[in-house]
Amino acid sequence: MLERIRQAKQAAPEPMTGFAGFLRQDLDAVTAGRALPWSSGVFESRVSQVKTLKRAMYGRVSCEPLRTRILENGP
């Protein structure tokens, strides 16, 4: 994988070289993400739902209605 990153950094357009540099900075996390069977997909989905509810409830009287909606739409 390190060789692929090195190739991307040398031959790719500027945005890709920046991305390759970020991958090299945290190569352990990239390798673990590709090799391990775990996923944060469920968690990311829940975070997305909460953000959508926050946008929908923006400007309401207090945080309590938002809290109630988040708890009602639980996992």
How many residues does this entry show for the chain? 75
How far is 68 from 74, CA to CA, in rounded Å?
Answer: 10
Of 14-18, 23-27, 55-59, the least confident: 14-18
Cα–Cα distance for residue pair 70/50, rounded to 1 Å: 6
User: How far is the C-alpha of 5 from the C-alpha of 35, rounded, in Å?
Assistant: 17
pLDDT mean over 37-44: 81
Instruction: Name residues whose C-beta falls within 8 Å of residue 45's C-beta, 6 or more positions apart in sequence.
Output: none
- pTM score, whole prediction: 0.45
Domain boundaries along the sequence of the chain: 2-35, 41-72
9 pLDDT more than 70: no
Band (pLDDT 50/70/90 cuts) for residue 53 is confident
Indicate the SS3 state at residue 29: helix
**CA–CA separation, 48 vs 55, rounded Å?**
11
